[in-house]
Amino acid sequence: MNDTAMNYLTVLFVFLLLAAPSLYGIAHDRRVDRQLREARAARGAAEQPPRRTDFTSAA
């Protein structure tokens, strides 16, 4: 029984060792995507003209 548990732990450890860089990369990509999306939204909000229209000169 003890040998079986050690084998399971070894397999789990190797799996986590192999999966960790990939999981870290996914988290990093998501963070960068979020930052780009926020920057694009902020830039778009700064470049939009005011929505209020001045009708005094239309007469």
Q: What tokens does 29 get? A: 């990509």
Between CA 31 and CA 27 the distance in angstroms is 6
Q: What are the residue boundaries of the structural domains of the chain, listed by start? A: 19-43
Between CA 34 and CA 40 the distance in angstroms is 10
pTM score of the predicted model: 0.58
Find tokens 């239309």 and name the residue.
Answer: 58
Query: How confident is the model over 5-56, as pLDDT tens digits?
Result: 999 999 999 999 999 999 999 999 999 999 999 999 988 877 766 666 666 6
